[in-house]
Amino acid sequence: MTTDWNALDDQDFRREVRAFLHQNYPEALRFPKSWLRLTEASHWFQALYRNGWRAPAWPVKYGGMGLGPAKLMVLFEEFEHYGVGHSTDMGVTMVGPLLINHGSEEQRAWYLPKILSGEHIWCQGYSEPNSGSDLASLRTEAVLDGDDFVVNGQKTWTTLAQDATHIFMLVRTEKTGKKQEGISFLLADMTTPGVERRPILNLAGHEEFCECFFRDVRVPKANLVGQLNRGWTMAKALLSFERIFLGSPRQGQYAMARLEELAVQCGLTADPGFMDAYARLKMDNLDHVALYARFAEQVRRGETLGADVSILKVIGSETYQKISQLMVEAAGSAGGLRDDVELAGGSFDWLSNYYSARPATIYGGSCEIQRNVLAAQVLGLPA
């Protein structure tokens, strides 16, 4: 019998989520230092699948939990609070909702069950060299040839593409007219001849991203989602709900807690210079938490988020960088050491926060782009 989660009181549902996490989420994977690889997350995926929790936002008829906005916010808040790691779940969070809203019956019947079971793991093919923040300038081309599209081009910063079985991507199918109007949305099997993946090693020594090359890759025409040359509209819709989660204060709160721990262990609470910097960051972090709560309440009420939600990304990522910088400075001569370091009777790993904070102002739309959005669409300033 399917549980009507939305009929529960928010606090009762919150208790259900906490109990589920305590029973099913591996303790060793709480607050991981990097994205979880497929080999690490597979048991967690299967626990979600067995219990019907794999796709919280999907309608029940497609195998999801059918959570409304309010319950969805509760679930994500509890996941973040418990330290559930980010993993390769773009099939659940992005491809599934896209196919439910824009896919054909045949696409839904083929792909959705395999996303739920974990048979298909998806990655996102959006960014390209010189086409990151200006995504509409992408150049990966798909030319129709009989019943196939022939794809040539390159995608980059593709998160955990080495673990993916499939990729959803934006491709250029028309070169004339406005650049946004010649983009289509395509699904492809990563084992197709002509697809090459090259992991990118980051500063922390992790291979979280890849370059993906497509050389005469044949993708069936049936893998086109929606109408030809109308992919840009779908891509924007796909990312709209993601904006608030990119602006979550979780990273800053976690880093702040580690900074406080470090300060107490090292006796820095008696240092006026440190405490002045700490107090400023604490207040910035609390401002971010309060602002996030305002937007989260909009989501709970089922309201559409406006362009002003971009402020969350700016404040959150920049504050996170400042906190991680102060952590390294507070560690003194040990600030350049990687992994867990014993210091003043405690064990600390400040560099993982420092490294992960560097790209935070870039991915998901750089802070420069977010400021342009705020200037044009909120403040009404001229371009």
Q: Tell me whether residue 242 is one of the annotated catalytic residues.
A: yes
| H-assigned helices in the chain | 10-24, 38-50, 69-82, 90, 96-102, 105-117, 231-240, 242-246, 250-265, 272-300, 310-330, 350-357, 367-373
> Per residue in 115-167, pLDDT tens?
999 999 999 998 898 876 677 789 999 999 999 999 999 999 898 899 999 99
Cβ distance 216 to 148 under 8 Å? no
Per-domain boundaries in the chain: 5-87, 122-237, 241-378
Other CB atoms closer than 10 Å to residue 326's CB: what's the count? 23
Cβ distance 121 to 96 under 8 Å? no
Q: What integer is the mean pLDDT of 192-218?
A: 91
> Per residue in 244-261, pLDDT tens?
777 888 888 888 888 888
Cβ distance 167 to 124 under 8 Å? yes
* φ, ψ (nearest 5 deg) of residue 35: -60, 145
Catalytic residue among 242, 297, 329, 368: 242
- Return mean pLDDT, the chain: 88
Q: What integer is the mean pLDDT of 357-373?
A: 86
- CATH fold group of domain 122-237: Butyryl-CoA Dehydrogenase, subunit A; domain 2 (2.40.110)
Structural tokens at position 193 = 């001849």
61 has a pLDDT exceeding 90: yes
**CA–CA distance from 112 to each of 96, 104, 145, 364, 372 (Å)?**
6, 11, 27, 25, 37
- For 241-378, the fitting CATH number among 3.20.20.10, 3.30.390.50, 1.20.140.10, 1.20.81.30 is 1.20.140.10
Structural tokens at position 143 = 């030319």
> Per residue in 269-311, pLDDT tens?
999 999 999 999 999 999 998 898 888 888 777 777 888 988 9
pTM here is 0.85
